[in-house]
Amino acid sequence: MTLQVLRRSLADQRTGLVLLLVLLVVVFGSLIPTFFDDRFVVFPLLRDVATLTVVGLAQLAVLSIGHLNIAVGRMAAFGAMFMGLAYEQWHLPLYAGLVIGVAAGAAIGALTGLIITSSGVNSFVVTLAMDFALLGFVSLVYSELTTSAAFTTKPAGMQELRTFSLADVCVGPVCGTSAIPQLAIFAVLAMLAVGYLYSRARTGREMLMVGSNAVAAELSGIPVDRRIVGAHALSGGLAALAGFMLAVTSGSFTATIGSEFMLPSFLGPVLGGTLLTGGAVSIIGTFLGTSLTQVIRQGLTMLGASVQSLSISLGIILLAALSLDRVRQVISERKAVRR
Amino acid sequence: MRPFAKRTRLCAVAVGLLAVTVGCTTRGSDAGQSAAGPDKKDVSSVKVAFVPGGPHPYFQPWKAAADQVKADFKVGGTVFDETSQWDQAKQNSALNSLASQGYNAMGIFGVSPTDINSTFTDLKAKGITVASLGSCPAGDKDEADFCLSTDVGEAAYKAAKTAIEAMNGTGKLVHLTGNNVDANTQRRIAGVQKAVDETGGKVSILTTIPDIDKDLQTAQKAVADLLSAQGNQIQGIVTTAYNPAVAAAAGVKSAGLPIKVVAIDDDATILAGIKDGSVAATIAQNPTGQAYVGGWALAQLATGACTMATPGTTVDSGSFVITKTNVDTYDTERKAKTTQLTEQFKSSVLKCS
């Protein structure tokens, strides 16, 4: 029984990721004495992991139905733009602006889903077109409404959200760790909500069925079009949340928010076991995949890798991680056949 | 969800809880670990990092200047780190990594002028001496100890004035520049506009083309399109970004049009263009002076030997008009400016005991 459990655990892609992650942390930790410095390394690293995990979840939402969202970064910029407008022009408090921005992101996502379902055009093409349209629109709004191409008004609480950690959360005399940023709470809440959707809620299950086989789902009475629109709306809303987290981390709401989101949005989910073809998602895997890439980047940067060798090494290690996973899968499948 | 997801989830939650509880502190245990006090330190305890926004030819002189700072001022170490890849989040990560390696003084070219003040505030709160080099934050406030940079608006104004002069004070001018959603680009656009406004309508801006400094190919395409569509109407081109400058110089030369081009920076291609007459002038900046003088001032501040007379002061590192007449001698002028900058820092920018 124990052996069976162990074998099954090893066959899980996420187990491989956890082992690789632990190995890398041990290797980098022994090579770099300051790798566990909570102020300069762990806190900023976890803040980035939190933001990119939400970006990964945004992509995961559309991957679940077998679609892609090329405009994930620009949807983040679109949502963040509304948050900036809410703070600078409408003088709203922090969380009211966040709600407006996430709603705007969800709306643009839903519109994208509607275009896909009504036109029947591939999601890649539609989101690519949406990316271009939003690029122009967001830049236009910033250049028309601001002089420095950014909304720089900081509502009360934004500064604290950027710098506060769990050490600022105390129960009596005992406080949390200074290594975990408070911003990570947003990522945890997003993971719990998305996790609940796909593992417990009927809507999420239906989205996965649409991703597995849209025709079969349609014949089973699932409202396929509505699920497609819903998945894209979820993707847009999560992208906007990630835009908010990046703006809080950086300090202002700019048009360039999200411009670096596209690659990490795929890396996290795909490394974590989410299928590009739809039908299977992994929320924990997305977090692990994102953590893996960020730990590699952090470790290599601290080892003094140049910008070129950083990109090459990152590419090779990720390729190796994916290949090793495949090798492990094949070996476990062969063993299973022999038995 | 896959089989065994529940077990993996449980493991992840357990590991997470363990991490949180292991790191728990008791309130007040961090007290007294604030930023370094005003005690004077030896200069060898100062390690200076020079961090540009990303790889760009403009910053290459910073490398040699960083070595020079180490040799001349006997600081503990210097490093030139260009891994920011023009992304503010990546730059913040690079800065934190450097801080963890003991770099306690930093000269930074912020990727995002509207965000960099937050980064400066964070670093200063952790006891690091910070200078804004090559670009100042957007707005009126600078959270760094000082900003030593080309006044980009002034440099663009000088470039446009030079172009207008080369056009004999009349005609249509085109402005080629970089990222439109960047506060510095807006300053450049305003600088060019100011010079054009001073002509009282004799010179007008035909078009301003932004977002073409991403790479040389993008700039070359934009210049080729511009010259083929409107080449005959243009009397002058002023460029305030590196790639458009190189592309405009080569494009106008190969098209054989009588357009006066004023470039930016002193790249070998542009200097060759000035010598053969295809480029009317260029505006050189002073990156070496920024890193050398900035590195020295950072070391003085980090040791506690000096303090800022006015924190957040902006100092212009200089911009120089290069034409055929001074193409071989402008570097002397630039070195003189660097010497003058050092004197300026000693006499008025810093307050030394």
SS3 at position B182: coil
Same domain, B58 and B72: yes
Cα-based distances in Å from A292 to A26, A219, A262, B181 = 13, 40, 17, 32
User: Is the minimum CB–CB distance between B2 and chain A shorter than 8 Å?
Assistant: yes
> Smallest Cβ distance to B26: which of A139, A174, A306?
A174
CATH number where A214 lies? 1.10.3470
In A, minimum Cα distance to B89 occurs at A250
Residues of A in Cβ contact (< 8 Å) with B153:
none
Q: CA A158, A164, A169 angle in degrees (round to 5)?
A: 120
Same domain, B280 and B295: no
CA-based nearest distance B349→chain A, Å? 27
Contact between A177 and B3 using a beta-carbon 8 Å cutoff: no
Q: Is residue A337 part of a domain?
A: no
pLDDT at B37: 45
Show the domain range for A161: 15-165+176-332
Scanning chain A, the segments in alpha helix (DSSP H) are 2-11, 13-31, 43-63, 72-88, 94-119, 123-145, 158-163, 184-199, 202-212, 214-219, 224-250, 262-271, 283-302, 307-338
Q: Is residue B30 part of a domain?
A: no
Give the separation between CA A13 and CA A325, rounded to whole angstroms. 7
Give the separation between CA B159 and CA B177, rounded to whole angstroms. 12
Same domain, B250 and B265: yes
Give the separation between CA B257 and CA B337, rounded to whole angstroms. 36
**Sign of torsion, CA B310 B311 B314 B317?**
positive
Same domain, B125 and B66: yes
Give the separation between CA A114 and CA A120, rounded to whole angstroms. 10
Q: Is residue B139 part of a domain?
A: yes
Count of structural domains within chain B: 2
Count of structural domains within chain A: 1
Q: Is residue A10 part of a domain?
A: no
Q: Is residue A1 part of a domain?
A: no
Q: Which of residues 299-338 of B touch A (CB under 8 A)?
A: none
CA-based nearest distance B135→chain A, Å? 14
Q: Is residue B220 part of a domain?
A: yes
Residues of A in Cβ contact (< 8 Å) with B184:
none
Q: Is residue A217 part of a domain?
A: yes
List, for residues B92-139, the tens digit of each pLDDT value: 989 998 998 899 999 999 998 889 999 999 999 989 999 999 988 888
Give the separation between CA B284 and CA B318, rounded to whole angstroms. 9
Residues of B in Cβ contact (< 8 Å) with A178:
23, 25, 30
pLDDT along chain A (339 residues), means of 10: 65 80 93 89 94 97 96 97 95 96 98 96 96 93 83 90 87 84 95 96 96 93 96 98 96 90 90 84 94 90 80 76 68 63
Contact between A149 and B185 using a beta-carbon 8 Å cutoff: yes
Residues of B in Cβ contact (< 8 Å) with A287:
12
Q: Is residue B15 part of a domain?
A: no
Same domain, B213 and B164: yes
pLDDT at B148: 95
Q: Which two tokens stand for residue B80?
A: 């030139």
Among B126, B119, B129, B130, which Cα is nearest to B84's? B119
Same domain, B314 and B207: no
Contact between A166 and B181 using a beta-carbon 8 Å cutoff: no
CATH number where B82 lies? 3.40.50.2300
Q: Is residue B344 part of a domain?
A: yes
Answer whether A198's CB lies under 8 Å from B1's CB: yes
pLDDT at B214: 80
Same domain, B126 and B50: yes
Residues of B in Cβ contact (< 8 Å) with A148:
113-114, 138-139, 183, 186
pLDDT at B20: 53
SS3 at position B171: strand
pLDDT at A304: 80
Q: What is the DSSP letter of B137?
A: P
Q: Is residue B1 part of a domain?
A: no
Residues of B in Cβ contact (< 8 Å) with A34:
100-102
Cα-based distances in Å from A267 to A61, A258, A299, B59 = 14, 15, 18, 31
SS3 at position A100: helix
In this structure, what are the phi and psi dihedrals at residue A147, rounded to the nearest 5 degrees? Answer: -95, -25
> Smallest Cβ distance to A252: which of B26, B90, B115?
B115
**Within 13 Å and on the Cβ side, how many CA atoms surround A2?**
0
Show the domain range for B179: 152-284
Q: Which two tokens stand for residue B17?
A: 């809880």
pLDDT at A263: 87
pLDDT at B278: 87
Give the separation between CA B178 and CA B53, rounded to whole angstroms. 14
Same domain, B99 and B120: yes
Same domain, B123 and B185: no
Q: Is A153 buried (19+), middle (13-18) or exposed (0-12) by CB count in 10 A?
A: middle
Q: Is residue B167 part of a domain?
A: yes
Q: Is residue A6 part of a domain?
A: no
With a cut of 70, list the residues of chain B below it in pLDDT.
Answer: 1-39, 181
Q: Is residue B174 part of a domain?
A: yes
pLDDT at B33: 40
Same domain, B114 and B89: yes
User: Is the minimum CB–CB distance between B114 and chain A shorter than 8 Å?
Assistant: yes
Same domain, B173 and B295: no
Q: Is residue A170 part of a domain?
A: no
Same domain, B302 and B234: no
Entry pTM? 0.81
Q: Which of A158, A307, A313 would you mutate first to test chain B, the one with the most B CBs within 10 A?
A: A307
Give the separation between CA B263 and CA B260, rounded to whole angstroms. 10
